[in-house]
Amino acid sequence: MIHEVDEALRRLLAETGLPERGIDVVFDAPTRDFAARRNAPTVSVFLYGLREDPDRRQAGTLAEHDPDGLVTGHRPAPRWFELAYLVTAWTNRPQDEHRLLAEVLQCLTATDALPARLLTGTLAELGLTVGLDIAGRDTGLPSVSDVWSSLGGELRPSVDLRVLAPLPGERSPAGPPVTEGLVLHASEGLPVDGPGRRLRYQGASDPGPDGFAAPRERGLPPGRRPRGSAPGRAR
């Protein structure tokens, strides 16, 4: 799921025309070594944190269907994770960096979710909304200043981007659908290895709201009397 979010973000930023203008979009950590190695204007989208959102956890399973509507498998309900990205712009002049970062910020705030056309893999298969947010609240992830301190670099303008994405559960395939009726073999009068008789369910009547477990009258065995009745005189 993480690499699919990376790809969706790369496609989203590419739609603003950054590659055509010679601006690279990378996912490297913005360390001192990174700053020394780059040789072109660059936008860094660095994943620095990952946490599950327990409030969105659900129980149960989801059925998967083929184009004909038949169940082909089951998956546990997806679990949601918040991915934290540190987005920075790198050029030779601070003014150009600010301009480029403003362009990136405009792109990221233009929508509250990654467009479906940009999703791939399991994110596309699930068809769920992958939300975008410019963080303004504490969710237990490291702060931006702590991230810069860990990277060993100097604090610089950045966008703290959060992506809320689903992680699908392991798929369990379903058995083949039942397409034939029950087959009974009778040993009396018929060969045991014969084709048997196939029961069809066409035109079956409705058993009612209680199904086949509806209560029914049962006769008493000989010599038994209904409970609570007075015993009769012996004959």
What share of the chain has pLDDT > 90, as a percent?
45
Count of residues for the chain? 235
Which pLDDT value is given to residue 136? 66
What six digits make up the tokens of 135?
Answer: 């963080």
What six digits make up the tokens of 112?
Answer: 């509250």
The answer to whether the beta carbons of residues 35 and 153 sit under 8 Å apart is yes
**In angstroms, what CA-CA distances link 190 with 52, 182, 187, 197?**
63, 17, 5, 10
Which pLDDT value is given to residue 198? 53
More confident residue, 175 or 126: 126
Beta-ladder partners of 161: 85, 134
Mean pLDDT rounded to a whole number for the chain: 81
Whole-model pTM: value is 0.69
Which pLDDT value is given to residue 72? 72
Instruction: Give residue-wise pLDDT tens across range 166-201.
Output: 998 777 777 676 666 666 665 665 555 555 555 555
Tracing tokens 């039942």 back to the chain, one arrives at 178
The answer to whether the beta carbons of residues 169 and 78 sit under 8 Å apart is yes
Which pLDDT value is given to residue 229? 59
Q: What domains appear along the chain, each with residue ranges and CATH number?
A: 2-173 (3.30.2000)
Which pLDDT value is given to residue 60? 67
More confident residue, 64 or 50: 50
Number of Cβ within 10 Å of residue 8's Cβ equals 24
Decide: residue 87, CB within 10 A, 0-12 exposed, 13-18 middle, 19+ buried: buried
CA 43 to CA 9: how far, in whole Å?
A: 12
Contacts of 219 (CB under 8 A, 6+ apart): none
End-to-end Cα spacing for the chain: 85
Which pLDDT value is given to residue 106? 95
Q: What's the average model confidence in pLDDT over 155-164? A: 92
What six digits make up the tokens of 220?
Answer: 């008493």
CA 41 to CA 23: how far, in whole Å?
A: 5
Beta-ladder partners of 89: 43
More confident residue, 61 or 95: 95
Instruction: Give residue-wise pLDDT tens across range 207-232.
Output: 566 555 556 566 666 666 666 655 55
